[in-house]
Amino acid sequence: MTKLNTIDADEARDTVLVIDDSPEILGIINELLKPFYRLKAANCGEKGLLLAAAEQKPDIILLDIMMPDMNGHEVCRRLKADRTTRDIPVIFLTAMSNETDEESGFALGAVDYITKPISGPILRARVKTHLGMKHAADFIKNKNVFLIGEVSKREKELEFAQDVTILALTSLAETRDNETGNHIRRTQHYVRALAEHLQRHPRFSLALTRTNIEMIFKSAPLHDIGKVGIPDHILLKPGKLTPEEFEVMKRHAAFGQESIAQAEKTLAHSAPFLAFAKEIARSHHEKWDGSGYPDGLSGKKIPISARLMAVADVFDALISRRVYKRPLSLEEACRIILAGRGSHFDPDIVDAFSFQVSNFAAIAARFSDPIDDKMNLNTTHARA
């Protein structure tokens, strides 16, 4: 039992690697430090590099400069070039004491110099000091790794909470609307397809960064959240709305933006994706020529996120079956979207749509509604 305890105590010590071609120096250092540290010794640079790179790495290295085959400067250079050994502090042992030699050593990454003949108190004090600094640096490094991991974990938890919130809100809207969850998924993917196509366009490149596209994609399902504020007899009416009923229906755009803003105010917290959610909810029924609602915005005054959703939402409404209408074919829907270029829709977004028709058709097929299985999504006119 005593022997086992001795081994454990020895293994708990810091390890000092001494690289020196002088047996006498190795013996002196061994005598001075062995009571306090575990020691490893190498009588040449090559062997020292092997011991430094071993699985059980030293905590500090005492390195002679003047060695025949490979001098200490070269050994230090190689240690610092290797990512597995570059953080091990190196103290040079030298009989030279001029400032030029010291400057060269520090430039290579050494932390200190000890001149020969070696003084026991100086050697022990320097080794203890630099080991203490290394332990502090290791602690901070490990703490930073831990904190980075915790931040990443919290970010994932926040992202999950956001996704759950969006799903809950959109599911609530779905229970009151004729439209289905597949409509939400289709429009979400249409928007991303358009945004990614326009990423390099000079008018859109600054706004449609990779991060912003993902936030727009995330917030797109909230575009019709305001419909929860529309009375059932209007929202679920199977026939055409009267002018008065349509005026009530139009309020859902403002309701959506206001409900998200109110939630932010209540929680005293905002998230970047909610800024896009408010834009889309309020402005996706605005028209390029200013004839839309609720604010009569026109042209570039309409947020880009809402302009993207306008095309996506109208296209999906056209090809989807509703209790008050049949689904249009892909060709019919494309003709209507193209006809709205410069009046209903941003011309550049319509141009992007014309290149993405086959992609839109694939998205529609992927997230099709069961009742629309017979929808005609012929893609022969993909550049319509």
Task: Identify which of 186, 139, 171, 228 has the alpha carbon closest to the alpha carbon of residue 314.
Answer: 186
Strands (E), the chain: 15-19, 38-42, 60-64, 90-94, 112-115
Between CA 41 and CA 117 the distance in angstroms is 18
Convert the pLDDT of each residue in 72-97 to its tens digit. 999 999 999 999 999 999 999 988 76
Residue 45 to residues 41, 54, 76: CA-CA distances in angstroms?
A: 11, 14, 9
- Asked whether 53 and 77 are in contact (CB, 8 A), the reply is no
pLDDT at 380 over 50: no
Say how many CA atoms lie within 13 Å of 211 toward its Cβ. Answer: 3
Helix axes 304-319, 272-283, angle to 10 degrees: 50
Give the pLDDT confidence score for residue 325 in this predicted structure: 74
**Confidence band of 3 (pLDDT split at 50, 70, 90):** very low
Mean pLDDT in residue range 367-375:
62
CA–CA distance from 237 to each of 84, 176, 281, 322, 324 (Å)? 70, 12, 22, 11, 9
CA distances to 46, 53, 68, 92, 349 from 50, in Å = 6, 5, 17, 18, 62
CA distance 300 to 282: 15
Give the 3-state secondary structure of residue 41: strand
Tell me, what's the pLDDT at 6? 37
Q: What is the pLDDT of residues 26-38, one digit of tens each?
A: 999 999 999 999 9
pTM exceeds 0.75 for this model: no
Q: Assess contact for 302 and 283: CB atoms under 8 A.
A: yes
Cβ neighbours around 189 below 10 Å, total: 20
Local structure of 58: helix, strand or coil: coil
Phi, psi dihedrals of residue 97, rounded to the nearest 5°: -135, 10
Q: What is the pLDDT of residues 121-176, one digit of tens each?
A: 999 999 999 999 988 888 888 777 777 777 777 777 666 666 666 665 666 565 55
Side by side, the strands of the sheet bearing 60-64 are 38-42, 15-19, 60-64, 90-94, 112-115
- Residues 247 and 241: their CA atoms lie apart, in Å, by 9
Q: Rounded to an integer, what distance in angstroms lies between the CA atom of residue 192 and that of residue 238?
A: 31
Q: What percent of the chain stands above pLDDT 70?
A: 83
CA distance 36 to 50: 24
Distance CA 203, CA 181 (A): 32
List of domains in the chain = 2-145 (3.40.50.2300), 181-372 (1.10.3210.10)
